[in-house]
């Protein structure tokens, strides 16, 4: 059985270990262009020992941004901004990026500025669209425009164009955001998709847009490089699709080129009372999907203890561990975890500028 610190190979890419930095929106870009903040944020975590660093959910169009601070990949200036960052990450880890369209959750204030929709009459607000004209609710109460067939085709092509730019910018791992109530996820969820045409109305119809986006992106993303999706497989809500339907979607995505599924939540409703928050609460679901869809799987959510992360990999519950809060609080989490697990030379996870001095020392000793 592999351990947390064994390499992981997917297509032509080998990660030095099973630790992945989760895509985390920084809301710090201007006009979608990443800057020094992104270089330092992602660079520190690449140097900190993770095998895979996935850059934040980056919008495939200006309309697809959650907030005005979102990074993007819909123009060349943005791709150029990412190039410097991927070059740095590659010295230490594999650079990935998540592509996203926010759908009905677009046109919002940054989390620390309220996390709610910008008022429709505010000149900073923009048009939002979704499968059905239904507001998410909570602070996100703008009613989106119902998408036409032309809107749907255009959104799909925006994912394709952004995937091409991601390749040109030097990314070696592409993740599509099919979770958290954003555009693609909202097509799949009966909580958000009330359409009666070919893009809704049945499990088959609700799966159509995710399948079309994946197929179109796979056509332009090289076969030798991993393509993953973060998929919201459950909302823990009575109105959702059965988990079996999510598993069936994973199988179909796999059959058209998906390499790994990052198992996450739907967040298609502000009602999250049913979510059983607790350490590793998504792991049993990730394990089931890994087994039943026979696909490589990443598990995240409330994982931060090294022994827990290691056990998930050893027990074949997931292939990768996706860390968000743990990496926010300590970019050197992999180094500390290697110490905690008793690995012989944990400092070797770090660049020589640090490793030289830390050789043989306990990580928390400051003298
Ligand atoms: C923010 C933007 C996009 C996402 C997010 C968040 C915050 C938490 C989360 O997911 O789980 O997908």
Cα 126–chain centre separation? 24
Q: What band does 288 get if pLDDT is binned at 50, 70 and 90?
A: very high
Whether 22 is in the pocket of ligand 1, judged by its Cβ within 6 Å, is no
What interhelical angle do 283-293 and 243-255 show, nearest 10? 50
- For 123-159, how does the pLDDT look when each residue is reduced to its tens digit (9 = 90+)? 999 999 999 999 999 999 999 999 999 999 999 999 9
- For 218-252, how does the pLDDT look when each residue is reduced to its tens digit (9 = 90+)? 999 999 999 999 999 999 999 999 999 999 999 99
Residue 71's nearest CA partner among 128, 33, 40, 23 is 33
Question: DSSP for 219-254?
Answer: HHS-TTS-EEEEEEEE-SSTTS--HHHHHHHHHHHH
What is the per-residue pLDDT for 1? 86
What is the per-residue pLDDT for 365? 55
Q: What band does 29 get if pLDDT is binned at 50, 70 and 90?
A: very high
SS3 265: strand
Q: What band does 363 get if pLDDT is binned at 50, 70 and 90?
A: confident
Whether 57 is in the pocket of ligand 1, judged by its Cβ within 6 Å, is yes
pLDDT exceeds cutoff 80 at 367: no
- For 301-349, how does the pLDDT look when each residue is reduced to its tens digit (9 = 90+)? 999 999 999 999 999 999 999 999 999 999 999 999 999 999 999 999 9
pLDDT, average across residues 283-306: 98
pLDDT exceeds cutoff 90 at 366: no
Question: 57-74 burial, b if ≥16 CB within 10 A, otherwise e?
Answer: bbbbbebbbbbbbbbbbb
What is the per-residue pLDDT for 362? 77
Whether 25 is in the pocket of ligand 1, judged by its Cβ within 6 Å, is yes
Distance 267 CA to ligand 1 centre (A): 10
Distance 56 CA to ligand 1 centre (A): 9
Residue of the CA atom closest to atom 10 of ligand 1 = 180
CATH superfamily label, 8-331: Aldolase class I (3.20.20.70)
Q: Given the structure tokens 């049913």, which residue do they identify?
A: 274
Distance between CA 227 and CA 30 in Å, rounded? 27
Distance 24 CA to ligand 1 centre (A): 7
- For 175-212, how does the pLDDT look when each residue is reduced to its tens digit (9 = 90+)? 999 999 999 999 999 999 999 999 999 999 999 999 99
Residue whose CB lies within 8 A of the most ligand 1 atoms, among 107, 180, 268, 303, for a mutation test: 180
Nearest-atom number in ligand 1 for the CA of 66 is 2
Residue of the CA atom closest to atom 12 of ligand 1 = 180
Global pTM value: 0.97
- For 158-181, how does the pLDDT look when each residue is reduced to its tens digit (9 = 90+)? 999 999 999 999 999 999 999 999
User: In the chain, where are the structural domains located?
Assistant: 8-331, 337-367
Nearest-atom number in ligand 1 for the CA of 180 is 12
Distance 16 CA to ligand 1 centre (A): 26
Phi, psi of 182 (to 5 degrees): -80, -175
Residue of the CA atom closest to atom 4 of ligand 1 = 180
Q: What band does 9 get if pLDDT is binned at 50, 70 and 90?
A: very high
Distance between CA 335 and CA 349 in Å, rounded? 6
pLDDT exceeds cutoff 70 at 364: no
Distance 228 CA to ligand 1 centre (A): 17
What is the per-residue pLDDT for 361? 78
Whether 180 is in the pocket of ligand 1, judged by its Cβ within 6 Å, is yes
8 Å CB contact between 33 and 23: no
8 Å CB contact between 287 and 265: no
């Amino acid at each position: 059985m592999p351990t947390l610190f064994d390499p992981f190979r997917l297509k032509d890419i080998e990660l030095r270990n099973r630790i992945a930095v989760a895509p985390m929106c920084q809301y710090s870009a201007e006009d979608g262009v990443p800057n020094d903040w992104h270089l330092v944020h992602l660079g520190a975590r690449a140097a900190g020992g993770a095998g895979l660093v996935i850059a934040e959910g980056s919008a495939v169009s200006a309309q697809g941004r959650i907030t005005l601070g979102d990074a993007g990949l819909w123009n060349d200036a943005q791709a150029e901004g990412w190039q410097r960052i991927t070059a740095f990450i590659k010295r230490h880890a594999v650079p990935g990026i998540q592509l996203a369209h926010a759908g009905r959750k677009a046109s919002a204030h940054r989390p620390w500025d309220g996390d709610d929709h910008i008022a429709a009459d505010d000149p900073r607000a923009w048009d939002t669209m979704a499968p059905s004209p239904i507001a998410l609710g909570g602070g996100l109460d703008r009613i989106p425009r119902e998408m036409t067939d032309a809107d749907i085709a255009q959104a799909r092509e925006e994912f394709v164009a952004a995937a091409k730019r991601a390749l040109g910018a030097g990314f070696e791992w592409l993740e599509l955001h099919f979770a958290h109530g954003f555009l693609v996820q909202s097509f799949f969820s009966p909580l958000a998709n009330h359409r009666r045409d070919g893009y809704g109305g049945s499990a088959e119809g609700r799966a159509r847009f995710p399948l079309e986006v994946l197929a179109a992106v796979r056509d332009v993303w090289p076969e030798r490089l991993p393509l993953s999706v973060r998929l919201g497989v459950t909302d823990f809500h009575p109105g959702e699709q059965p988990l079996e339907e999510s598993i069936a979607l994973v199988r179909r995505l796999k059959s058209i080129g998906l390499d790994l599924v990052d198992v996450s939540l739907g967040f298609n409703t502000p009602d999250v009372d049913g979510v059983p928050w607790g350490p590793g609460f998504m792991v049993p679901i990730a394990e089931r999907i890994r087994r039943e869809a026979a696909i490589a799987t990443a598990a995240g959510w409330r994982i931060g203890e090294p022994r827990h992360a290691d056990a998930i990999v050893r027990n074949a519950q997931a292939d990768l561990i996706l860390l968000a809060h743990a990496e926010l609080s300590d970019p050197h989490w992999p180094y500390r975890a290697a110490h905690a697990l008793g690995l012989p030379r944990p400092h070797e996870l770090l660049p020589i500028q640090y490793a030289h001095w830390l050789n043989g020392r306990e990580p928390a000793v400051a003298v």
